[in-house]
Amino acid sequence: MELFYRKYGEGPAVIIVHGLYGSSDNWVTIAKKLSENFEVFLIDQRNHGRSPHCDDFNYEVLKDDLLEFMDKMSIEKAVLIGHSMGGKTIMFFAKDYPERISHLIVIDIAPKSYILPDEDLPQTINHMKIISAMKAIDFSKIKSRQDVDNELAKTIPYERVRQFLLKNLNRNSDGVYEWRLNVKAIEKNMPKILDGMNEQDFVNGNEIVGFPVLFVKAANSAYILEEDYDNIIANIFPFAELVTIPNAGHWVHAEQTTLLLKNILYFIYE
């Protein structure tokens, strides 16, 4: 799949992979800083941003999209940075293509399943509620971004979540607002996106090793819990390091940009 991408700087390759509902646009600030020492690629994963839409949407195709991108750009080996869903994309990639990775940096996601009951739970956002709210927008009646925000606010009370979703608004050639996201494919495949890695694939010496691995936990987020390191992260990535970014929620790259960048650079150069 021909992924949309942005490129900054020159040097060793760094590829940043965004999360669910995100896009390359969300990581430009960090990419520009990293570009002082690296050639940084920001990709839009399929069904997101400016990349093509497709009914197939799971970590098998997402990791293969990443491989195809690296081959197309003649990137033999790269630092891979992935946030949330993007973190799982690069973890699945690491399982099959470890020789293509120099460093793996996984931001605020564990390799576990996040499939939860219907009710709101503190661990994660209620994704099906978000999808339902996005689908419910009647764009024929929408005149402004504020109109969309007002509609989303009926079911999504968190302003930060709504503002993040609103980054996906686009005007088509007729001047009508629409979602850039492939909402239909995301809804259909949500269980696959929320699912995790199978720990049984990594027993008896099959753990993922051979390059440095860093997991970044946002202190105010419960996507990575205290027990996750011993229960699943260390079982799959036995030499992984874990660092916590204070005063940050799940979108740590927006809330603690400087501190996250500092930790990324320290890890790469240590």
- Angstrom distance (rounded) from CA 94 to CA 209: 9
Query: For this structure, is 84 an active site residue?
Result: yes
State the burial class of residue 47 (Cβ atoms within 10 Å of its Cβ: 0-12, 13-18, 19+).
Answer: buried
Q: Which of 23, 24, 51, 84 is catalytic?
A: 84
β-pair type (101-107, 213-218): parallel
The alpha carbon of 191 is separated from its chain's Cα centroid by a whole number of angstroms, namely 16
Query: For this structure, is 250 an active site residue?
Result: yes
β-pair type (169-171, 177-179): antiparallel
Helix (H) or strand (E) holding 96: helix 85-96
Q: Which of 18, 103, 127, 250 is catalytic?
A: 250
| Partner residues linked to 171 by β-bridges | 177
State the burial class of residue 235 (Cβ atoms within 10 Å of its Cβ: 0-12, 13-18, 19+).
Answer: middle
How far CA 190 is from CA of 7, 43, 102, 114, 128, in Å, comes to: 29, 21, 30, 10, 8
Q: Which one-letter amino acid corresponds to residue 42?
A: L
Residues annotated as catalytic (active site), given as ranges = 84, 250
